């Protein structure tokens, strides 16, 4: 495995309006989105104490018995249930998780314990949502799009959600799947990881570790940004590898778009510059339905799993 590290970006210039430093940071972000599809941000304004408390409370929750955690599960039958969930035994992904919709959603199922967990989860959600909006505006500028284009294209935040993950310790180096190879179908994913490590991205056929940096937030470009930019910005394939004898805890925030949005390469990256589109247009909800079917009934062959390549055009 290569030892290349993904870029780390100081986000403070965007919080204090330091134009010279912003320009330099945007150059790093543009390169990171073009080459890796991932980068980490530091000095981002999210309280490090809040991050530490959120990770500790999730560990406390996941240490409870299965029976206790299951009290925070949604009613059976939901395709995308909030609250506590655990991967079935036959799943190649070995983790359990707690899914949270926006604060105020009637669908949310919060654990009664540990005390203060709900308050921290809701505060994390609010802060991560603000971070997603900021990063979307930065990416908008990095792509050279009209001011607020992505904000107006993706103005509805009701489809966002956050997940607290617990990856079980690996039994051996040969049985260490936490999350199998995948890309995210959304716009942007923000992740906070503990110090155990295991998150990796694929670049040039090699798996590159996303080395944990205390207090950092990992930023992952999703399929929608890749399609809109006609692959100027990449959506990386990633996985989580479990560690023998150690649990891993993390949070992921999914900055999504609503299902009835039509998605296709923008003219700024196609006909305006004489480039053919690399993807045909599609309704986001159709793509989501195909991916959901894969989760419910996983194909026996990896090549049959629906990815964004399903809409790719061979030029």
HEC secondary structure over 54-73: HHHHHHHHHCCCHHHHHCCE
Say if 302 falls within a structural domain. Answer: no
**176-190 average pLDDT score:** 92
Q: Domain containing 67: what range?
A: 8-267
Say if 286 falls within a structural domain. Answer: no
**C-alpha dihedral (306, 208, 21, 51), degrees to nearest 10:** 80
Give percent of the chain above pLDDT 70. 96
246 DSSP assignment: B
Provide the number of structural domains found in the chain: 1
The secondary element (H helix, E strand) that includes residue 220 is strand 217-221
**C-alpha dihedral (64, 68, 71, 77), degrees to nearest 10:** 80
pLDDT at res. 1: 42
Say if 150 falls within a structural domain. Answer: yes
- Distance (Å, rounded) from C-alpha 69 to C-alpha 219? 29
Tracing tokens 């210039």 back to the chain, one arrives at 13
The secondary element (H helix, E strand) that includes residue 190 is strand 188-193
Say if 285 falls within a structural domain. Answer: no
Across the chain, mean pLDDT equals 93
Say if 198 falls within a structural domain. Answer: yes
CB contact burial 32-55 (16+ within 10 A = b; e otherwise): bbebbbbbbbeebebeeeebebbb
CATH code of 72's domain = 2.60.120.330
**79-104 average pLDDT score:** 89
Residue-wise pLDDT for 106-145, tens only, equals: 999 999 999 999 999 999 999 999 999 999 999 999 999 9
- What is the C-alpha end-to-end distance of the chain, expressed in Å? 32
Token representation of residue 296: 């419910």
Say if 306 falls within a structural domain. Answer: no
Say if 280 falls within a structural domain. Answer: no
> Cα separations (Å) of 32 from 8, 183, 265, 278, 280?
9, 16, 20, 21, 25
Residue-wise pLDDT for 148-165, tens only, equals: 999 999 999 999 999 999
Name the band, by pLDDT with cuts 50, 70 and 90, for residue 286: very high
Q: At what angle do helices 117-142 and 48-62 cross, to 10 degrees?
A: 130
Which residues 6+ apart lie within 8 Å of 105 measured at CB? 82
Say if 32 falls within a structural domain. Answer: yes
Which residues 6+ apart lie within 8 Å of 294 measured at CB? 305, 306
Give start and end residues of each alpha helix (H) in the chain: 12-16, 19-35, 48-62, 66-70, 117-142, 149-153, 223-228, 284-296
pLDDT at res. 77: 62
Residue-wise pLDDT for 9-66, tens only, equals: 999 999 988 899 999 999 999 999 999 999 999 999 999 999 999 999 999 999 999 9
**238-261 average pLDDT score:** 95
> Phi first, then psi: what are they for 95, rounded to 5°?
-155, 165
HSE on the CB side for 194, CA within 13 Å? 20
**257-275 average pLDDT score:** 95
Answer whether residue 264 shows pLDDT above 80: yes
Answer whether residue 93 shows pLDDT above 90: no
């Amino acid at each position: 495995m290569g030892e290349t590290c993904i870029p780390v970006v100081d986000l403070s210039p965007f919080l204090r309006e330091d134009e010279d430093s912003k320009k330099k940071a945007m150059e790093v972000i543009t390169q990171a989105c073009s080459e890796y599809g991932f980068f980490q941000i530091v000095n981002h304004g999210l309280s490090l104490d809040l991050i530490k408390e959120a990770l500790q409370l999730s560990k406390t929750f996941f240490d409870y018995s299965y029976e206790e955690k299951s009290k925070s599960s949604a009613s059976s039958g939901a395709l995308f249930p909030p609250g506590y969930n655990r991967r079935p035994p036959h799943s190649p992904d070995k983790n359990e998780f707690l899914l949270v919709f926006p604060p105020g959603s009637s669908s949310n199922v919060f654990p009664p314990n540990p005390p203060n967990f709900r308050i921290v989860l809701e505060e994390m959600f609010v802060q991560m949502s603000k971070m997603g909006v900021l990063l979307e505006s930065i990416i908008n500028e990095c792509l050279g799009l009209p001011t607020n284009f992505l904000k107006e294209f993706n103005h509805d935040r009701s489809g966002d959600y956050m997940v607290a993950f617990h990856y079980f310790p690996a039994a051996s180096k040969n049985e260490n799947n936490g999350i199998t190879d995948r890309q995210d179908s959304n716009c942007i994913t923000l992740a906070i990881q503990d110090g155990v490590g295991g998150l990796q991205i694929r670049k040039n056929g090699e798996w590159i570790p996303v080395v944990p940096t205390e207090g950092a937030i990992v930023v992952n470009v999703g399929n929608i940004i890749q399609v809109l930019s006609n692959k100027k910005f990449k959506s990386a394939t990633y996985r989580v590898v479990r560690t023998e004898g150690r649990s891993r805890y993390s949070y992921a925030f999914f900055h999504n778009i609503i299902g009835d949005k039509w998605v296709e390469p923008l003219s700024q990256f196609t006909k305006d510059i004489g480039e053919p589109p690399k993807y045909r247009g599609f309704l986001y909800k159709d793509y989501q339905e195909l991916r959901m079917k894969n989760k419910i009934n996983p194909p026996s062959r990896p090549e049959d799993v629906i990815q964004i390549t399903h809409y790719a055009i061979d030029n």
